[in-house]
Amino acid sequence: MRHPSTPELALADLLQCLAAEAGLARSTLASYRQQGRRFASWMHDQGLAHCGELTTSHLVEFLASLRAAGLAEATVAHHLVVVRLLLRHLVREGELTRDASAALDSPRLASVLPKTLSAAEVEALLAAPAGTSARDLRDRALLEVLYACGARVSEACGLELDGLARESRVVRVTGKGNKTRVVPLGSRAWEALDAWLRGGRPGIPQAAKSARVFLSARGAPLSRTAAWRIVRAAALRAGIGKPVSPHWLRHSFATHLIEAGADLRAVQEMLGHASIRTTEVYTHLDAEHVRSLHRLYHPRGAGSA
């Protein structure tokens, strides 16, 4: 067995393997790096030179230190995920004979339902960029795509021209782990896309050299940060007093489909969820929607659970 690495070297090796073998997004790797560095720093503070010295009690103390620092339970759970990945990687590499995290239970997280918009709020949001400038055409097309196919913001920003199939009215989306899926796009979204591609995008510098659908004013691929700002600005313009993010449109897409009776498996495929359990959270939203209707309209509904 090799001598266990320092936590910094072990983390660097893990991230290199994840980037090469798992195809994780750069944002995910950056998050793992940040959380792994926090763990490495904590180890040094405890006088632990390498991961072979770790015990389950040490890990319990590390998680307690995160809670004492005021971190949310979900963030604590994310740190534990990185620690587990790190230790399992070292076991696979033959640097450790045991995984000190194996005996730990994952923190129990409160069930948090996704934030969604009503159909009326979505309509107002999509109509917010009402002008004819290239910026408005792009912003309207982006908003329509986010809602029409339930894309993650990174997926929408990464859309490429050769992934648009006008005749069959579908788009090819590249999601987590570089997995691709084909998602239908409605007529209004296609109209907004066509308006941008024919009336806005051609006037953008360097547009002809880029494969990306959505570009900045200077011709660079639209960033996730810029997309967030576009969604937030549209929400403010539409008078929606909520901290709307691109993911709200993804959640609204799924919730509205299920409320309309869509098959859960079909919604899972369109969202690109690996597990049906991830998609099932939207059925809880639908159940709350039904209860709200019952309270509102049933003669004995007022005040019922």
Question: Which CATH number is 83's domain given?
Answer: 1.10.150.130
Q: Is residue 285 part of a domain?
A: yes
Q: Is residue 303 part of a domain?
A: no
Per-residue pLDDT tens digits for 225-252: 899 999 999 999 999 988 898 989 998 9
- Which pLDDT score is estimated for 4? 60
165 & 238 share domain? yes
Enclosing domain of residue 136: 119-295
Of 76, 92, 108, which residue constitutes the final position of a domain? 92
**Is residue 282 flagged as an active site residue?**
yes
Q: Is residue 270 part of a domain?
A: yes
- Which pLDDT score is estimated for 129? 95
- Which pLDDT score is estimated for 60? 92
148 & 237 share domain? yes
Of 212, 193, 216, residue with least CA distance to 203: 216
Task: Characterise 230 by phi-psi region: left (phi > 0), alpha (psi -120 to 50), beta (else).
Answer: alpha
**Is residue 176 flagged as an active site residue?**
yes
**CA Rg, the chain, in Å?**
23
65 & 131 share domain? no
Among 55-69, 87-101, 121-135, where is mean pLDDT lowest? 87-101
Per-residue pLDDT tens digits for 130-184: 999 999 999 999 999 999 989 988 899 999 999 999 888 899 998 877 888 988 8
**Strand-pair partners of 79:** none
CA-CA distance, 93 to 89, in Å (whole number)? Answer: 6
Measured over the CA atoms of residue 82, residue 85, residue 89 and residue 95, the dihedral's sign is positive
Of 28, 57, 92, which residue constitutes the final position of a domain? 92
- Which pLDDT score is estimated for 285? 54
- Which pLDDT score is estimated for 304? 41
Annotated catalytic residue within 247, 289, 294, 295: 247
Q: Yes or no: say if 258 and 264 are a contact pair by the CB < 8 Å rule.
A: yes
What secondary structure letter does DSSP report for 172?
E
Instruction: Provide the residue type at 26 as one letter.
Output: R
Instruction: Give the mean pLDDT of 14-24.
Output: 76
CB-based contacts of 112: which residues, under 8 Å, 6+ apart? Answer: none
Of 23, 57, 92, which residue constitutes the final position of a domain? 92
pLDDT band at 105 (very low <50, low <70, confident <90, very high): confident
Measured over the CA atoms of residue 222, residue 228, residue 231 and residue 236, the dihedral's sign is negative
Annotated catalytic residue within 78, 201, 250, 251: 250
State what percent of residues in the chain have pLDDT above 70.
87
**Strand-pair partners of 170:** 165, 184
CA-CA distance, 197 to 211, in Å (whole number)? Answer: 12
The pair phi, psi for residue 108, each rounded to 5°, is: -80, 125
127 & 82 share domain? no
11 & 134 share domain? no
More confident residue, 20 or 189: 189
**Is residue 147 flagged as an active site residue?**
no
144 & 231 share domain? yes
- Which pLDDT score is estimated for 216? 96
Question: Does pTM surpass 0.75?
Answer: no
Of 111, 113, 112, 116, residue with least CA distance to 253: 116
Instruction: Give the mean pLDDT of 284-301.
Output: 52
pLDDT of residue 300 exceeding 80: no
Q: Is residue 104 part of a domain?
A: no
Q: Is residue 108 part of a domain?
A: no
Annotated catalytic residue within 273, 289, 294, 295: 273
Of 263, 66, 232, residue with least CA distance to 153: 232
55 & 13 share domain? yes
Find the CATH number of the domain harbouring 197.
1.10.443.10
195 & 289 share domain? yes
Q: Is residue 289 part of a domain?
A: yes
Q: Yes or no: say if 197 and 203 are a contact pair by the CB < 8 Å rule.
A: no
Instruction: Give the mean pLDDT of 295-300.
Output: 52
Annotated catalytic residue within 138, 152, 251, 256: 152
- Which pLDDT score is estimated for 261? 81
pLDDT of residue 303 exceeding 50: no
Annotated catalytic residue within 84, 176, 224, 294: 176
Query: Domain total for the chain?
Result: 2
What are the distances in angstroms from CA 105 to CA 41, 60, 82? 23, 10, 14
pLDDT band at 112 (very low <50, low <70, confident <90, very high): low
Average pLDDT, the chain: 85
CA-CA distance, 171 to 183, in Å (whole number)? Answer: 5
Q: Is residue 1 part of a domain?
A: no
267 & 201 share domain? yes
pLDDT band at 293 (very low <50, low <70, confident <90, very high): very low
First to last CA, the chain: 60
84 & 134 share domain? no
Strand segments (E) across 166-233? 170-174, 180-184
**Is residue 135 flagged as an active site residue?**
no
CA-CA distance, 84 to 128, in Å (whole number)? Answer: 45
Q: Is residue 221 part of a domain?
A: yes
223 & 131 share domain? yes
Other Cβ atoms closer than 10 A to 260: 9
49 & 123 share domain? no
pLDDT band at 113 (very low <50, low <70, confident <90, very high): low
